[in-house]
Copies of this chain bind each other. A is one copy, B any other.
Amino acid sequence: MEPVSNLHGTDSKLVKQEEQRQDLGFGTKLNDTYSRLINKDGSFNINRVNEPLRDRINLYNRLITMDWVHFLSWILLFYLAENVVFACIYLLAGAENLKGADDRIFHGSFWKAFFFSAQTLTTVGYGHIAPNSFLTSAIAAFESMLGLLAFALSTGLLYGRFSRPVAHIRFSKHAVFAPYLDVNGWMFRIINARSNQLIDVQVEVSMSRLETKPDGTVHRKYYGLKLERSKVSFFPTNWTVVHPITDDSPLHGCTPDNLAESDAEFLILLRAMDDTFAQVVHSRYSYRYDEVLWGQKFRSMTDGNQAGMATVDLNKLDITDPAPLN
């Protein structure tokens, strides 16, 4: 290693500029106009190659996050497969060593071994079929231990699935440009889809768009959008999140064509505290330029009070009415 005499620092303006640039973690090189950054389900539109198999499968995570139909199918499949494997092992060890009930009533010795395996794995152990040799006893002792562990695992998985903190936030189908006080605003609307309470709900909105540098290269820039209100303590009704388009807004003077040309995408990160489990929950969402309506405002979701209670109608989340922009 030769000494690097020219390694020097300067009070660089470029460094200071760079420090002020916002980056959400996507980098500046995602400058393709044909894809979005965040998908509608909150996942990122990034393809990872050469990821090790184990990390790609990420078994526990998948079992926790897959839907219930798939999950229960996997459990059932695994149970059947385990019993088939052990049935074969018992047959190899000699079906005659499973004493008790007659083979014929189970449609042959394979099924007898299969049911014996099931009775061992679940530790139900009726005993009308029982291991009658050293070898089958040893296999059964091992299988019942395995059954306990599998059961322990299922317990953990079921608890993990249920107790996992998830925010069921519904976002309005479109964001809108609507009049806001004496200016205009970019807005979207959210509501808690579940009846459990969320508190300390915080929203961060960024806009990503392609910009052309003086030298003609295209790169992606990110802007944080200042919100009328970025946090509410309680969230029992709907919340219309508003970015007022004042002079210092990056959306100032923007037109629908601008948005489309620059492949604009509005990225939303929501954090809240689930009141039931005191867990932090997150939700991601994004609106692309073609999911933003111009000159529309949201219709109120709150009805007049009925029976001494304010009423919120969840079906009205997406309804907008025309409203001329200021």
Contacts and interface: CB of A to CB of B under 8 A. Distances in A.
A159 B155 contact: yes
Contacts of A5: 255
A41 to B, nearest CB: 12
Interface residues of A, number: 162
B133 A312 contact: no
Nearest to A130: B128
A273 to B, nearest CB: 7
Given A196-B61, A244-B12, A276-B65, A269 B233 contact: yes
A253 B181 CA distance: 31
A215 interface: no
Interface string A104-132: 01110001001100111011111110111
A182 B310 contact: no
B123 A137 contact: no
Contacts of A19: 228-229
A259 to B, nearest CB: 9
B25 A239 contact: yes
A3 B130 contact: no
A181 B123 contact: no
A26 interface: yes
A326 interface: yes
A174 B219 CA distance: 28
Contact of A60 (B105, B162, B168, B236): B162
Interface in A253-274: 253-257, 260, 269, 273
A275 B165 CA distance: 9
Interface in A227-255: 228-229, 232-239, 244-249, 251-255
A148 B154 contact: yes
Nearest to A124: B125
Interface string A1-34: 1111111111110110011000111110110101
Nearest to A44: B236
Contact of A233 (B24, B125, B309, B311): B24
Interface centre among A206, A257, A310, A311 (most CB of B within 10 A): A310
Interface string A279-313: 11110000000000011000010110111111111
Contacts of A6: 325-326
